Amino acid sequence: MNVATWLDRNARQLPDHAAIADGARVHATWRDWAARSAALSTGLRELLGLSTGDRVAIIMRNRPEYLEAQFAIWRAGLVAVPVNARLHRDEIAFVLSHSGTSVVVADEEHAEDISSLVGEVPSLRTVVVAPGEDWQRLLASAAGPLVDRAPGDAAWLFYTSGTTGRPKGATLTFRNLLMASLSYFADVDSVTPRDSILQSAPLSHGAGLYGLPHVAKGATSVIPISGGVDGEEIAWLLDRWSGMSLFAAPTMVRRLATDPHVVNANLDHARTIIYGGAPMYLADLQYALDVIGPKFAQIYGQGEAPMTITGLSKADHAARDHPRFEQHLQSVGVPRTDVEVRVVDEQDVDVPVGELGEVLVRGEVVMPGYWEEPEATAETLRGGWLHTGDIGAFDEDGYLTLHDRSKDLVISGGMNIYPREVEEALLHHPAVEAVAVTGRPDAEWGEALVAFVVPSDGTKPPSPAELDAACLDRLARYKRPKEYRFLDALPTNNYGKVVKRELRDQLQAEAHTGSAPGTTQEPPV
Ligand code: AMP
């Protein structure tokens, strides 16, 4: 099934209903969007000479034309390559070359940079600027038919954010997109045409996937004018649009919950805040639940199993009377309806409940492989299971708790230390805004734990002794960091995920040049 058929269906059932909104303004009704999509898809094939299976990248900030391009690409039987517009030019060049992209649809802001890649990226023929004259030319084409696609045909090449290495393109098929959408209805939320989804996070990543079930059911996709998360704007849009859901990275949840505009907004219009993509710290979640209420749902997924491995439902977030409520809040929830999830040892043998191992997943939502990477595909999908690289454990209730990506594990003095639990402990200190813990090479210990601490605004930076005490309150002595360093901000990638690799690399480099301080540093005063 070609998911672009949803537009035609909605155009018949809800012709005058808002389909895409630019802030408070209706950009297109379902009738408009379906008509534009039908014209654009003809334009892509006939004016740009594209044929079924060709790759077309989208490089623009969130805007209505993004969604128009994405669905027109599918309608025309082409493969969409959504690229995060905030990537470096060289990273973009890599993705375009690797995917063999021949046409890019870009907004004006990015068009010049991307155009300079024509000639440098062998497959790239042209860049279409949207909105703009090229876009208008495509829109002036006659309406073309929807190109039939099989469930196993590629729809979306999802380049992973690369916190752990060179990006790889998970090939997401129409089957994968459909299963991810159906699973959203099964486990996360129902959606009706009276609902809306606020697209604040980059559409090239998770937010684009969460948008699909909303398109399927005729809800309105609302693109914020600010292009991001702005509390005042969100409050204003909550007045205008009802049943509003949004996808937020954990760091965004914290920002929303502490923003007075959001807290005092018309929260009756807020439906579900879906968070995921990185660990959510308990203290932040509890605070958000207190001020916003049980409107949260958590999702654990990967590009390779789009937004669908486990989920912590809204009911779980509301179950304060459950004896293990807090443990559940610290987990990533239970396996989603459409997948099987296992936790295994290094030989892929299941480990008992409570024991840590790698998380494996199998189901129709899992990608068939990485684009043009047969070796990485065979390795990741060995035995028919997706090897996530995430380390976790099931509890006796069937909830999965993630500890770390296997590469994040630090082994110090022969003891395994999972940085996540040390971070959780340090975040209990009121003067700690954010923290990332990782290891540095150490002659005595093999690796020594280093905590990079961002002190809270306006509070006195905590002393290493206080931070030690926060750890000792909750953790075994050996898990205390050997060193604390203080930063203004943690390095993050374009999706807001903390890039520990940079911190680890910095520590490695210091070890090689012998410049590692090796002692606990005092905070700046
Ligand atoms: P990506 O493919 O770029 O979306 O990254 C997927 C990775 O993000 C997963 O393998 C996990 O390591 C992490 N991740 C995703 N969802 C969650 C979650 N709910 N809690 C903790 N980590 C998560």
pLDDT of residue 408: 76
Q: Is 295 in the pocket of ligand 1 (CB under 6 A)?
A: no
Q: What atom of ligand 1 comes closest to residue 388's alpha carbon? A: 10
Q: Tell me the C-alpha distance between 280 and 190, whole Å.
A: 24
What the block records as the tokens of 166 is 């060179």
Q: 333 phi and psi, to 5 degrees?
A: 90, -155
Residue nearest to atom 1 of ligand 1 (CA): 302
What angle (nearest 5°) sits at the alpha carbon of residue 245, between those of residues 323 and 390?
55
- Lookup result for tokens 């495509």: 138
Instruction: Choose among 260, 304, 249: nearest CA to 434.
Output: 249
pLDDT of residue 387: 95
- Ligand 1 centroid to Cα of residue 278, in Å, is 5
Helix ranges (DSSP H) in 322-463 = 325-329, 374-380, 419-427
Instruction: Choose among 369, 370, 492, 471: nearest CA to 427.
Output: 471
Task: Give the max Cα distance, the chain.
Answer: 72
Q: Is 298 in the pocket of ligand 1 (CB under 6 A)?
A: yes
Q: Tell me the C-alpha distance between 482 and 436, whole Å.
A: 14
**Residue 220 three-state SS:** strand
pTM of the predicted protein model = 0.85
Residues in the chain: 525
- Lookup result for tokens 């534009």: 36
Q: What atom of ligand 1 comes closest to residue 309's alpha carbon? A: 16
What the block records as the tokens of 448 is 């020594």
Q: Which residues contact 406 (CB under 8 A, 6 or more apart)?
A: 358, 389, 390, 391
Are 303 and 160 in contact, with CB atoms under 8 Å apart? yes
pLDDT of residue 378: 95
Q: 155 phi and psi, to 5 degrees?
A: -120, -40
pLDDT of residue 520: 47
Q: What atom of ligand 1 comes closest to residue 162's alpha carbon? A: 3
Instruction: Choose among 44, 56, 70, 37: nearest CA to 204.
Output: 70
Tens of pLDDT, residues 303-327: 999 999 999 999 999 999 999 999 9
Q: Where in the chain is the domain with CATH 3.30.300.30?
A: 410-513
Q: Tell me the C-alpha distance between 375 and 384, whole Å.
A: 14
Contacts 24+ apart (CB under 8 A), 129-132: 130/60, 130/65, 130/68, 130/69, 130/105, 130/106, 131/65, 131/107, 132/108
Q: Which amino acid is at 66?
A: Y
Q: Where in the chain is the domain with CATH 3.40.50.12780?
A: 5-336
Q: What atom of ligand 1 comes closest to residue 279's alpha carbon? A: 21
The helix-helix angle for 419-427 and 464-472 (nearest 10°) equals 110
Instruction: Choose among 105, 27, 23, 123: nearest CA to 66.
Output: 105
pLDDT of residue 522: 43
Residue nearest to atom 4 of ligand 1 (CA): 302
- Ligand 1 centroid to Cα of residue 326, in Å, is 20
Q: 303 phi and psi, to 5 degrees?
A: -50, -35
For the chain, which residues score pLDDT lower than 50? 162-164, 516-525
- Ligand 1 centroid to Cα of residue 297, in Å, is 15
Q: Tell me the C-alpha distance between 483 and 435, whole Å.
A: 13
pLDDT of residue 518: 42
Q: Is 300 in the pocket of ligand 1 (CB under 6 A)?
A: yes
Q: 244 phi and psi, to 5 degrees?
A: -85, 125
Q: Tell me the C-alpha distance between 345 and 348, whole Å.
A: 5
- Ligand 1 centroid to Cα of residue 315, in Å, is 22
Q: What atom of ligand 1 comes closest to residue 280's alpha carbon? A: 20
| Element holding 393 (H helix, E strand) | strand 386-394
- Ligand 1 centroid to Cα of residue 276, in Å, is 7
Q: Tell me the C-alpha distance between 275 and 234, whole Å.
A: 16
At the second CATH level, the architecture of 410-513 is 2-Layer Sandwich (3.30)
- Ligand 1 centroid to Cα of residue 390, in Å, is 8
Q: Which residues contact 260 (CB under 8 A, 6 or more apart)?
A: 231
Q: Is 160 in the pocket of ligand 1 (CB under 6 A)?
A: yes
pLDDT of residue 278: 79
Are 468 and 480 in contact, with CB atoms under 8 Å apart? yes
Q: What is the DSSP string of 109-164?
A: HHHHHHHTTBTTBTT--EEEESSSHHHHHHHTSPP-PPPP--TTSEEEEEE---SS
At the second CATH level, the architecture of 5-336 is 3-Layer(aba) Sandwich (3.40)
What angle (nearest 5°) sits at the alpha carbon of residue 193, between those of residues 190 and 198?
80
